[in-house]
Structure 1
Amino acid sequence: MSAAGLLVSDVDSTFLAQEVIELVADHAGVRDRVEEITTAAMRGELDFSQSLRARVALLEGLQESVLAEVRAVLVPTPGVLELVRRAKADGWVVALVSGGFHEVIDELAVSAGIDHVLANRFGIEDGRFTGQVSGPIIDGAAKRRALEEYAATYDVPVPRIVAMGDGANDREMLRAAGTGIAYRAKPALREIADVVLDGESLLEAWPHLQAAAAR
């Protein structure tokens, strides 16, 4: 099965205007501490896996029921749902690869028509957060591997792959794509991106998808 192109997007601060773990941390009263760790990780100052474990550890004991409240306040980045709609209409495969969490983003991904989602999972036992990540951590290397696997599955050559992100853990997948788009990104990503977008709307990425599809 061959697709017209492959669009792979980060989620937090790219597909979504928010950082999911910070929304969850609000409910635990530790958002400030989580934000500090997130910012350092996205700048490339901390190893992503270590930073994620540190952030999730701060959520230990939180009730699982807060996840429904977090899902209810998710805000897609302006223009991104229209970007996905146009890409899908033109025969593209669209995937989300995230250092965030399935429990929060899967429902929105289904409603947006996303083909694949790869993300982390919270450790939850007896209705409460364990403070651990369940399963392998989705870091920069995992994002790149997912991009390469999707491209192979749908027979999409590198020139017709577009990857979008905002932080240091998106570097590997942007380098692996034919077009790497840094959206309102940290310096660590901007310096290696093919395209830097600083506007409000991710629909600004559409001409770059059209250009990629023509290759």
Structure 2
Amino acid sequence: MPICTLIAADILESGNFSEAKDRLAEAGCIPKAFDWLAQGKAVDISFEGDLSDARMALEGLEDRFDIALQDGANRRKMLLVSDMDSTMITVECIDELADYAGIKPEIAAITERAMAGELDFADALKARVALLAGLDESVIALCLRERVQPMPGAEILVRTMTGWGAHAVLVSGGFTSFTGPVADMLGFHEVHANLLEIKDGRLTGALAADIVDASTKRVVLHAAAQARGVALGSALAVGDGANDLPMIAAAVSDGGLGVGYHPRPQLAQAANFSVRHNDLTALLFAQGVKPHEWAD
């Protein structure tokens, strides 16, 4: 039976809850059962009807809820594949490196256009990395220490999912200098990212290996699923920008959960669940997991 999960932006008031139920019923999606995941915060509504009809019925409520609509079967996913920058951590690492070099506005503007899908990612990455030529490699450790913080709910999400046996993959268009430490901090099993070329203690302005881009992220999702013997319907893919779109679309097309986390508009259209109001624990609510089951 399909399930609608409502996760309130603030407090799930009875009036808002009733409006959602009424909209579903009017669209022929008859509510059958209700399960509070967290009283006043998140609730599951099981219903009879079509997911697309339910989605249309609930349009306009996104200013009050994060809304996940999915089949009730197979909700707890066995594969997590996630972007890093602005998804699992609060910053874009290349922008922060640029800040130490005194050129953050120039690089951040390119980053934003790339994430919005306005620029080719590989070309934009090469251009930004070239601007970092000559930066002392010690700045990477300084940036990790001073700027890189986990996104709220990130560690709870990863460690809760790995606690029930899910495999967690961090795949980033950023750099291995950051993904390794972040993976260790949050509990990821596997990492894919770009390698900065460093010579004589300084960034050369080039990359030392093939670029991890949007197509790579999709390939990583498929490869991780195949290696673990996991169908994509048991996968959760999450990201925030256009570079994540093929990965998100692949998860959605095969019945998995493709999540846009505070997504750019292009990604939101491809995702079957967008988180705009809550932290990453919303991805646990979407899987029907109550707070007492979350990892400490």
Q: TM-score, normalised by structure 1?
A: 0.94
Identity of aligned residues (%): 40
Stretch of structure 1 that moved more, 101-110 or 188-197? 101-110
- SS across alignment from 1:123: strand
Q: Partner of 2:137 in structure 1?
A: 64
State the distance in 2 between where 1:16 and 1:113 align.
13
State the distance in 2 between where 1:90 and 1:149 align.
21
After TM superposition, where is structure 1 displaced by more than 3 Å over at least 4 residues in a row? none
Stretch of structure 1 that moved more, 55-64 or 194-203? 194-203
Q: Partner of 1:145 in structure 2?
A: 219
1:83 and 2:157 matched? yes
- Asked if the contact 1:4/1:90 (under 8 Å) is kept, the reply is no
Of structures 1 and 2, the one scoring higher in RCO (CA 8 A, sep 6+) is 1
1:25 and 2:25 matched? no
Residues 185-213 of structure 1, C-alpha deviation per residue, up to 9 Å, x if partnerless?
101101111001012411101133458xx
State the distance in 2 between where 1:209 and 1:7 align.
12
Report the alpha carbon displacement of residue 33 of structure 1 after superposing the two structures with TM.
0.5
1:46 to 100, 106, 119: 119
Report the alpha carbon displacement of residue 18 of structure 1 after superposing the two structures with TM.
0.4
Determine which structure has the larger helix proportion and give its number. 1
- Asked if the contact 2:87/2:240 (under 8 Å) is kept, the reply is yes
1:205 and 2:283 matched? yes
- Flag structure 1 segments of 5+ consecutive residues without an equivalent: none
1:192 to 270, 289, 293: 270
Report the alpha carbon displacement of residue 117 of structure 1 after superposing the two structures with TM.
0.6
Amino acid at match of 1:111: M
Amino acid at match of 2:91: Q
Report the alpha carbon displacement of residue 4 of structure 1 after superposing the two structures with TM.
6.0
Amino acid at match of 2:211: I
- Flag structure 2 segments of 5+ consecutive residues without an equivalent: 1-75, 290-296
Residues paired across the two proteins, number: 209
Q: Partner of 1:13 in structure 2?
A: 86
Report the alpha carbon displacement of residue 112 of structure 1 after superposing the two structures with TM.
2.0
1:169 and 2:247 matched? no
Amino acid at match of 2:151: T
State the distance in 1 between where 2:196 and 2:278 align.
30
- Asked if the contact 2:172/2:192 (under 8 Å) is kept, the reply is yes
Q: Partner of 1:105 in structure 2?
A: 179
- Asked if the contact 2:77/2:287 (under 8 Å) is kept, the reply is no
Q: Partner of 2:204 in structure 1?
A: 130
- SS across alignment from 1:25: helix
Report the alpha carbon displacement of residue 85 of structure 1 after superposing the two structures with TM.
1.1
Q: Partner of 2:228 in structure 1?
A: 154
State the distance in 2 between where 1:89 and 1:56 align.
37
State the distance in 1 between where 2:237 and 2:274 align.
12
Do the aligned partners of residues 6 and 146 (structure 1) sit closer, same or farther apart at CA in structure 2, a change above 3 Å counting? same
1:37 and 2:110 matched? yes
Report the alpha carbon displacement of residue 176 of structure 1 after superposing the two structures with TM.
1.2
- Asked if the contact 2:77/2:235 (under 8 Å) is kept, the reply is no
- Asked if the contact 2:245/2:270 (under 8 Å) is kept, the reply is yes
